């Protein structure tokens, strides 16, 4: 039965409409009128450009595609009586078409068959849809602003992304070649749908695996938990902070459509950004990333910490960054991103890939001066490097308290100082609702965040006299927030930290917390705890089944990792005599319980031995010093310690305990009690110097994927490759693997894929002298000198002097007849004094070079000092005298 051409055209139109939805209006207009001739012209332009740059590529590889599509165009034009549809094939892509050409065969030989079998319109429609899908995926990538930087990483996923499209196209061509029946055609469609679903599942699994790898590599601070905490506090007083959106300087930064201020410094307290983050997230077509800095926390007070936090948020908002960051993680050789240069490269590319991005960094005064300067300068340089048509794509807001040092760091940035007038109403509203009362009931002696539900509760449950962990009777019956009052914050991720670093200073200065006593108590607690019966080297599963459900191992990770550090800190304290006897007894029992003779005895540094002399009456002092030295070494060493140097059985004990806890967690039907005592991240890294030693993983698979990275830190980034899990020991080994198994191209080496033929040795001899040249154009330039007396056609308009070359005449006129030299080193300062040496120059670039010299720098210094003083005066005069604190 014949099918009407209008009905046949509907299927093509539906495929086209689906593709057009992904196009902008300008792209629709441009693509809709593109012809095959236009594509040929574009290819010719590309070839000429490559030739001029000596970067010619084998554009002939596109011939298959062009020839196949030309015949496809003929068939569709005859079959549907229209050529408009094919404009959307010629228009979108002018490269990456070779792969499609490999699956397009010449179709004009089937023209009569198409006329006699109208149902074969369906394969033609599907081929059209395949090509549009190919173009759509490629266009989505090449429309990215930073596609050149992302190309190397995304190229490796080309076969994974486009393989299904190319396979479908091959099958559709096979249907035409084999002159398939309707039944065969239907069966092929069913199989393709099944394969499509399987591929989507595979893609999701691969993306999930890569995301886990990148998340572990970034190891970013949980800023979302901070945001929830600060937002939760502010939501109790919802009207506070709204005044800031009425401020002109802030509006100039915040306005998404018309921005006058792209970099803004807001003087405030840590946590003040929560309202701004909340409101910025409501803006249309804008991305928001933020960070809360924290004093003495390396993950939150350094450029690396800030970069890792911002990258993790950008990754959540832009899926195209996943392959790029995963590629860097795989080839970095680092378990955790720890190189500033790599962090800057990743963050620069990721930020510039965003169409409109708000960056909000709160609490910069919590960072050391050098780190703060690095952070601010980095964002200043990124914004300055943006092209003029993209300067509105980046907005940066920095929040910190105001001090003299901060003013220097932010001297090039617009500032907004919060005064009493700004937040007076907010303070009044807060005071009327609640009066702040601080109750000091609990002393915190460490700066690091602690998971309170497991670590602190187990620590206070330890009974040293009975040598047990009495979880039921000794643990806190009230929440730690209740004990600490407003001195501490509990975040949504279960961490406890002081509300501000000044709170610690206050507690120590006022003698509320005795740091020395805290170190002594923790040292004695760790060493005595590790000598409990539950850690006997000969304990088996029978003993573990008794001790584990009682919570005896909740403090094990901390005590095992830090017993030596706390003990070392104690020995540095003055007035230690009264406490030495207790420490001697505890350490003697500890060493007797866990000592084992090493196969290779390590060498301990002399200063370390000298520090431990207060314990010289200890019968096992040499053994204790050696064990402490190795314990501290494993905290710092990036390499695994030699097992032949092992002197304590504790490493076997902790492996045995962890294995039992993991098995119990996986097999138990109810884990509520275990989660209270040991947390939910039960599967932990065996490396003590890894953060995952304490904060583990939710599953065994995640931990097993993570652990080898300490030994084989370079991973293949090709989807589905076994070396993506196994890894390589060196970067050289990784490159060798990728070259041998994946045929990779180093995109940084532009001649890698298309080596040029060695140039033929050609010489050009001057007919009037012995000069020889390898290029003809150089010979022509040389010949002008011989012909100059007869061909000096470039005459000076001032003095009539002839020149053989135009450049010689121009140089003569600019240096000889330019009149007064307008480029002078010097001028008059506002106080009437002169600056500079007074030397005159013909050109501005010559004057600039002069100022870069040592002499020129001395000339310029008085002018720079005057400008710096004016800038400082303008800032101080604009700033109100009363300083308030924001509650935004």
pLDDT band at 398 (very low <50, low <70, confident <90, very high): very high
Given a contact cutoff of 8 angstroms between Cβ atoms, the answer to whether 359 and 396 are in contact is yes
CB 836 within 8 A of CB 824: yes
Strand, coil or helix: 495: strand
* Residue 91 pLDDT exceeds 50: no
- pTM confidence score: 0.50
Q: What is the mean pLDDT of the chain?
A: 74
322 or 742, which is more confident?
Answer: 322
The predicted pLDDT at position 45 comes to: 66
Tokens of 807: 């450049």
> Is the pLDDT score of 129 beyond 90?
no
Is 425:273 a contact under the CB 8 Å cutoff? Answer: no
Q: How far apart are CA 76 and CA 82, in angstroms?
A: 7
In this prediction, residue 68 carries a pLDDT of 60
Mean pLDDT, residues 2-22 taken together:
59
Instruction: Compute the distance between CA of residue 85 and CA of residue 121 in angstroms, rounded to an integer.
Output: 14
- Cβ contact 440:487 at 8 Å: yes
Q: Name the most confidently modeled range: 7-21, 246-260, 375-389, 698-712.
A: 375-389
Two tokens at 341?
A: 């240069």
Instruction: Indicate the pLDDT class of residue 806, thresholds 50, 70 and 90.
Output: confident
What is the token pair recorded at 791?
């061909």
Q: What is the pLDDT of residues 362-374, one digit of tens each?
A: 988 888 888 999 9
| Contact criterion met (CB below 8 Å) for 265 and 415 | yes
Least confident of 65-79, 494-508, 776-790, 796-810: 65-79
pLDDT band at 788 (very low <50, low <70, confident <90, very high): low
Answer yes or no: is pLDDT of 303 > 90: yes
Token pair 């121009």 is found at 810
Structure tokens at 250: 């802030």
**784-788 average pLDDT score:** 65
The mean pLDDT of 214-240, rounded to a whole number, is 81
Least confident of 53-57, 657-661, 745-749: 745-749
Residue 277 has pLDDT above 70, yes or no: yes
Strand partners, 827: 835
Q: Is the pLDDT of residue 751 over 50?
A: no
> Which token pair is 108?
């004009």
> What are the pLDDT digits (tens) for 685-717?
888 878 788 888 888 888 888 887 777 667 777
Is the pLDDT assigned to residue 99 strictly greater than 70?
no
Task: For residue 12, give every residue at least 6 positions away whose Cβ sits within 8 Å of its Cβ, in sequence order, or none.
Answer: 76, 80, 85, 125, 128
Q: How far apart are CA 18 and CA 85, in angstroms?
A: 13
- Is pLDDT larger for residue 678 or for residue 394? 394
pLDDT score of 794: 75
Q: Is the pLDDT of residue 561 over 50?
A: yes
Q: Is the pLDDT of residue 856 over 90?
A: no
Distance CA 728, CA 331 (A): 9
Mean pLDDT of 396-412: 82
Which DSSP string corresponds to 209-277?
A: HHHHHHHHHH----HHHHHHHHHHHHHTSTTTTGGGGG-HHHHHHH-SS--S-SEEEEE--TTTTHHHH
Half-sphere exposure of 235 (CA within 13 A, CB side): 7
pLDDT digits (tens, 9 = 90+) for 325-361: 888 888 787 888 888 999 999 999 888 888 889 999 9
pLDDT value for 441: 34
What pLDDT was estimated at residue 379?
92
Helix (H, G, I), strand (E, B) or coil at 397: strand
The reported pLDDT for the residue numbered 51 is 65
pLDDT at 819 over 60: no
Q: How far is CA 117 from the centre of its chain?
A: 56
Beta bridge partners of 462: 469
Any idea which of 102-106, 190-194, 289-293 has the lowest mean pLDDT? Answer: 102-106
**pLDDT of 21:** 67
Q: Which of the four pLDDT bands, split at 50, 70 and 90, describes residue 270?
A: low
**Would you tell me how many other CB atoms lie within 10 Å of the CB of residue 117?**
15
Quick one: pLDDT band at residue 755, thresholds 50, 70, 90? very low
**Residue with more model confidence, 4 or 782:** 782
pLDDT of residue 9: 59
Q: Percent of the chain having pLDDT more than 90?
A: 5
- Do the beta carbons of residue 229 and residue 492 sit within 8 Å? yes
CA distance 463 to 481: 24
Q: Please choose, from the candidates 385, 337, 414, the residue with its C-alpha nearest in 3D space to the C-alpha of residue 691.
A: 337
Q: What is the mean pLDDT of residues 521-547?
A: 87
């Amino acid at each position: 039965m014949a099918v009407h051409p209008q009905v046949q055209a509907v299927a093509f139109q539906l495929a086209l409409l689906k593709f057009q939805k992904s196009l902008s209006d300008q792209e629709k207009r441009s693509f809709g009128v593109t012809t095959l001739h236009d594509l040929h012209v574009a290819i010719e332009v590309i070839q000429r450009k490559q030739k001029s740059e000596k970067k010619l590529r084998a554009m002939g590889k596109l011939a298959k595609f062009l020839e196949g599509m030309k015949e496809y165009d003929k068939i569709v034009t005859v079959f549907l009586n229209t050529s408009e549809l094919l404009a959307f094939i010629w228009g979108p892509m002018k490269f990456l078409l070779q792969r499609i050409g490999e699956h397009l065969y010449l179709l004009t030989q089937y023209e009569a068959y198409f006329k006699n079998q109208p149902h074969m319109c369906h394969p033609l429609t599907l081929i059209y849809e395949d090509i549009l899908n190919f173009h759509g995926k490629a266009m989505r990538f090449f429309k990215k602003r930073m596609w050149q930087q992302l190309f190397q990483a995304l190229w490796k996923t080309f076969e994974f992304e486009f393989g299904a499209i190319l396979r479908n196209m091959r099958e559709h061509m096979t249907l035409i070649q084999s002159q398939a029946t309707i039944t065969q055609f239907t069966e092929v469609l069913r199989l393709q749908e099944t394969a499509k679903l399987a591929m989507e599942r595979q893609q999701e699994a691969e993306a999930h695996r890569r995301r886990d790898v990148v998340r572990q590599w970034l190891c970013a601070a949980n800023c979302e938990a901070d945001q929830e905490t600060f937002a939760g506090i502010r939501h109790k007083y919802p009207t506070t902070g709204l005044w800031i959106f009425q401020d002109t300087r802030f509006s100039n930064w915040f306005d998404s459509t018309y921005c006058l201020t792209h970099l803004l410094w807001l003087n405030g307290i840590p946590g003040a950004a929560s309202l701004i983050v909340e409101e910025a997230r409501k803006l249309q077509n804008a991305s928001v990333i933020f960070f809360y800095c924290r004093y003495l926390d390396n993950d939150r007070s350094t450029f690396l910490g800030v970069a890792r936090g911002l990258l993790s948020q950008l990754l959540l908002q832009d899926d195209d960054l996943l392959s790029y960051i995963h590629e860097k993680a795989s080839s970095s050789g680092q378990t955790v991103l720890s190189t500033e240069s790599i962090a800057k490269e990743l963050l620069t590319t990721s930020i510039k890939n965003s169409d409109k991005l708000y960056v909000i960094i709160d609490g910069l005064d919590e960072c050391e001066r050098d780190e703060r300067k690095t952070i601010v300068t980095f964002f200043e340089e990124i914004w300055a490097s943006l092209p003029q048509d993209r300067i509105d794509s980046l907005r940066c807001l920095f929040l910190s308290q105001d001090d003299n040092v901060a003013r220097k760091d932010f001297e090039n940035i617009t500032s907004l100082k919060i005064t009493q007038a700004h937040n007076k109403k907010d303070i009044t509203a807060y005071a009327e609702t609640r009066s702040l009362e601080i109750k000091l009931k609990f002393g915190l002696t460490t700066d690091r965040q602690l998971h309170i539900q497991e670590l602190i509760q187990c620590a206070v449950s330890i009974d040293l006299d009975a040598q047990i962990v009495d979880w039921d009777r000794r643990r806190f019956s009230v929440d730690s927030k209740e004990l600490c009052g407003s001195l501490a914050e509990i975040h949504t991720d279960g961490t406890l930290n002081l509300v501000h670093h000044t709170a610690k200073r206050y507690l120590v200065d006022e003698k509320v917390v005795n740091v020395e006593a805290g170190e002594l108590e923790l040292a004695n607690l760790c060493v005595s705890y590790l000598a409990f019966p539950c850690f006997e080297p000969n304990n088996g599963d029978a003993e573990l089944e008794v001790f584990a459900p009682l919570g005896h191992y909740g403090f094990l990770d901390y005590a095992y990792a830090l017993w030596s550090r706390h003990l070392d800190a104690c020995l540095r304290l003055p007035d230690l005599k009264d406490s030495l006897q207790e420490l001697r007894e505890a350490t003697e029992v500890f060493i007797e319980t866990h000592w084992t003779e090493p196969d290779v005895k390590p060498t301990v540094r002399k200063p370390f031995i000298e520090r431990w002399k207060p314990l010289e009456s200890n019968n096992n002092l040499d053994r204790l010093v050696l064990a402490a030295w190795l314990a501290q070494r494993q905290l710092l060493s990036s390499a695994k310690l030699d097992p032949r140097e092992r002197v304590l059985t504790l490493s076997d004990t902790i492996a045995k305990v962890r294995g039992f806890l993991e098995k119990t967690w996986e097999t138990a039907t109810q884990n509520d009690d275990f989660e209270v005592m040991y947390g939910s991240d039960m599967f932990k890294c065996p490396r003590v110097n890894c953060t995952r030693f304490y904060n583990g993983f939710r599953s065994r698979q995640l931990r097993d994927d993570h652990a080898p990275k300490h030994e084989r830190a370079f991973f293949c980034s090709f989807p589905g490759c076994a070396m993506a899990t196994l890894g390589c020991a060196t970067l050289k080994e990784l490159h060798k693997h990728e070259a041998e198994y994946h045929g990779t191209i180093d995109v940084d080496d532009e001649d890698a894929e298309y080596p040029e033929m060695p140039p033929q040795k050609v010489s050009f001899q001057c007919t009037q002298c012995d000069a020889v040249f390898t290029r003809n154009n150089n010979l022509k330039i040389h010949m002008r000198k011989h012909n100059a007396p007869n061909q000096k056609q470039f005459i000076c308009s001032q003095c009539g002097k002839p020149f053989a070359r135009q450049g010689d005449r121009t140089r003569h006129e600019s240096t000889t007849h330019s009149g007064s030299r307008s480029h002078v080193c010097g001028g008059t300062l506002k106080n009437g004094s002169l600056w500079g040496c007074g030397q005159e120059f013909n050109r501005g670039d010559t004057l600039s070079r002069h100022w870069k010299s040592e002499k020129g720098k001395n000339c310029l210094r008085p002018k720079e000092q005057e400008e710096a003083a004016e800038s400082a005066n303008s800032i101080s005069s604009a700033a109100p005298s009363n300083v308030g604190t924001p509650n935004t």
